[in-house]
């Protein structure tokens, strides 16, 4: 009987955690999608990571030459808590929103095709943990 109770509590806890995370993911996604608007179209990918304190999430993307892109990065319903940095494949820094007051989005135009590494981390002065969501859109 004790084992059944422990298993039941475990299942209920997992179900509750999944429901809370789904709600949180939806809230952050709904906030972030506001930055990918006309004339930008989402690339269809949702880059997500649950971050704590100094953790850094790493995402990979290819940007094609001659195209204009928008990267939107959010955590929660407030702006400015997520720092994102774009590097080329040799880890040369191309951009960081840290230099622009952690703006939640930025537009890029690449002259040639570039494979990039995008790092996302929380600004610990604002938030110590949370779900990081990043969206990429391209100009029509």
Q: Could you tell me the residue ranges of all domains in the chain?
A: 3-139
pLDDT confidence of residue 63: 96
pTM: 0.79
Distance of CA 126 to the CA centre of its chain: 16
Report the C-alpha gap between 17 and 51 in whole angstroms.
16
Distance of CA 5 to the CA centre of its chain: 38
β partners of residue 84: 120
pLDDT confidence of residue 20: 39
pLDDT confidence of residue 22: 44
Question: Given the structure tokens 């209920």, which residue do they identify?
Answer: 12
pLDDT confidence of residue 25: 72
Give the residue among 100, 76, 66, 65 at the shortest CA–CA distance from 25: 76
pLDDT by position in tens, the chain (length 140): 677 667 766 665 555 444 434 446 778 788 888 999 999 999 999 999 999 989 999 999 999 999 999 999 998 777 788 999 999 999 999 999 999 999 999 999 999 999 999 999 999 888 888 899 999 999 98
Decide yes or no: CATH 3.30.365.10 for domain 3-139: no
């Amino acid at each position: 009987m004790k084992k059944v109770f422990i298993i039941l509590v475990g299942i209920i806890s997992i179900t509750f955690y999944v429901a809370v995370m789904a709600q949180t993911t939806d809230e952050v996604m709904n906030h972030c999608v506001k930055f990918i608007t006309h004339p930008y179209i989402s690339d269809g990918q949702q880059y997500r990571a649950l971050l704590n304190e100094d953790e850094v999430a790493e995402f990979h993307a290819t940007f094609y030459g001659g195209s204009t892109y928008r990267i939107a990065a959010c955590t929660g319903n407030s702006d400015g808590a997520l720092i994102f940095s774009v590097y080329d494949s040799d880890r040369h820094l191309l951009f960081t929103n840290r230099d622009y007051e952690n703006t939640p989005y930025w537009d890029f135009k690449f002259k040639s095709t570039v494979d990039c590494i995008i790092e996302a981390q929380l600004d610990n002065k604002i938030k110590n943990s949370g779900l990081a969501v990043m969206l990429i859109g391209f100009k029509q």
